[in-house]
């Protein structure tokens, strides 16, 4: 892929706050046109600090950013009309109705979509005349998204877009984001929901303490992680009786096996259990998920490494 196909390029990006704390410490990644890219990370990892720089809200302490070929901070006027931003807290006057709020926003947007179209996109058409303060938390998130879509953005920044949405609302938002991507919109999102990143992202980066620790497609990120098998042994069978080739960790009778070849390890375990007439209570075997990858990183944090 040539550099022009990348809509966002970030190279050795740094952000420092007053007092000298460095929240972003040399992050690099690129997002291609029509791609959904997710930034994942523990609380305080530096996701919002990064996204704000991409949106041109602050100047980086180091490194470079190009959004649609421009520096989003210095060339804000060239970039701003072509991007849509959904912030974590929209903060709109709560006495206005949904339509009034969207009209107010539309007034600041060039070539805006008709307000009813934007509201229909996010499933808020039936709430058009309701005051913002009467909306549920999930409906407010949808309004934030409708406002981000008003300007038909080429690049859409979504900071935790489905926080507060119920399961159906979350799926509707995923469908909408996919449809926007399929129509050519480039999407950069941050999320706390690992399932959301797994379902939605074409590629993702996990940020930890201001640095990218893993990046790739969801399948690539999980491929290097071990699968796990969990079960409990009957009280009369000590963990030491398990085949030595299975790398098992025991907590009393509760066993966890980690393996890079789930089929072989599971086959060996079941063969041993059948031969020894042992019942494996609560047997659960699963491939590595993004959650596992993420928890491993979060645990490093707890261990203070």
**Would you tell me which residues interact with ligand ATP (CB under 6 A)?**
17, 21, 23, 41, 43-49
Nearest approach in angstroms of CB 172 to ligand ATP is 23
Neighbours of 51 (CB within 10 A): 21
Nearest approach in angstroms of CB 23 to ligand ATP is 3
Strand order in 248-251's β-sheet?
248-251, 254-259, 227-232, 281-286
The phi and psi torsions of 261 (rounded to 5 degrees) equal: -130, 85
Choice between 41 and 153, CB closer to ligand ATP? 41
Cα 19 from Cα 36, distance rounded (Å): 34
Choice between 273 and 298, CB closer to ligand ATP? 298
Choice between 18 and 274, CB closer to ligand ATP? 18
Choice between 177 and 206, CB closer to ligand ATP? 206
Choice between 207 and 227, CB closer to ligand ATP? 207
Q: How many helices (H) and strands (E) does the chain have?
A: 10, 13
Tokens 């039936």 appear where? Answer: 126
Quick one: which of 260, 279, 168 has its CA closest to 222? 260
Choice between 114 and 137, CB closer to ligand ATP? 137
Nearest approach in angstroms of CB 50 to ligand ATP is 7
Q: Contact 7/67 with Cβ under 8 angstroms? A: yes
Q: Contact 197/218 with Cβ under 8 angstroms? A: yes
Nearest approach in angstroms of CB 52 to ligand ATP is 8
Q: Contact 292/229 with Cβ under 8 angstroms? A: no
Q: Contact 186/34 with Cβ under 8 angstroms? A: yes
Choice between 20 and 282, CB closer to ligand ATP? 20
Nearest approach in angstroms of CB 142 to ligand ATP is 20
Cα 276 from Cα 151, distance rounded (Å): 67
Quick one: which of 170, 186, 171, 121 has its CA closest to 147? 121
Nearest approach in angstroms of CB 59 to ligand ATP is 14
Nearest approach in angstroms of CB 41 to ligand ATP is 5
- The contacts of residue 93 (CB under 8 Å, 6+ apart) are 101, 132
Nearest approach in angstroms of CB 154 to ligand ATP is 24
Considering Cα of 54, then 59, then 63, then 66, what sign does the dihedral take?
Answer: positive
Choice between 48 and 300, CB closer to ligand ATP? 48
Nearest approach in angstroms of CB 2 to ligand ATP is 31
Q: How far is CA 121 from CA 91, 179, 226, 274, in A?
A: 21, 10, 40, 55
Choice between 18 and 244, CB closer to ligand ATP? 18
């Amino acid at each position: 892929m040539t550099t022009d196909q990348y809509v966002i390029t970030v190279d050795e990006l740094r952000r420092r706050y007053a007092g000298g704390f460095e929240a972003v410490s040399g992050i690099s990644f690129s997002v291609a046109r029509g791609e959904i890219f997710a930034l994942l990370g523990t609380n305080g990892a530096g996701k919002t600090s990064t996204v704000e720089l991409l949106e041109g809200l602050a100047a980086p302490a180091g490194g470079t950013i190009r959004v649609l070929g421009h520096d989003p901070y210095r060339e804000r006027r060239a970039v701003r009309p072509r991007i849509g931003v959904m912030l974590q807290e929209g903060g709109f006057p709560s006495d206005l109705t949904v339509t009034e709020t969207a009209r107010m926003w539309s007034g600041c947007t060039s070539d805006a979509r008709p307000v009813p179209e934007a509201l229909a996109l996010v499933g808020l058409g039936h709430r058009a005349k309701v005051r913002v303060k009467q909306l549920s938390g999930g409906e407010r998130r949808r309004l934030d998204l409708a406002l981000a879509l008003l300007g038909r953005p080429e690049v859409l920044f979504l900071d935790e877009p489905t926080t507060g949405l119920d399961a159906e609302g979350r799926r509707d938002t995923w469908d909408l984001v996919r449809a926007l991507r399929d129509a050519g919109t480039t999407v950069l999102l941050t999320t706390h929901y690992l399932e959301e990143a797994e379902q939605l992202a074409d590629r993702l980066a996990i940020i930890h303490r201001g640095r990218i620790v893993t990046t790739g497609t969801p399948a690539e990120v999980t491929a290097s992680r071990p699968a796990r098998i969990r079960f409990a042994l009957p009280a009369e069978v000590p963990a030491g009786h398990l085949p030595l080739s299975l790398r098992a960790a025991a907590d009393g009778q509760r066993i966890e096996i980690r393996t890079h070849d789930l089929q072989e390890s599971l086959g060996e375990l079941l063969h041993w259990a059948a031969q020894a007439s042992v019942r494996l209570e609560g047997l659960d075997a699963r491939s590595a998920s993004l959650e596992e990858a993420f928890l491993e990183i979060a645990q490093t944090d707890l261990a203070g490494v």
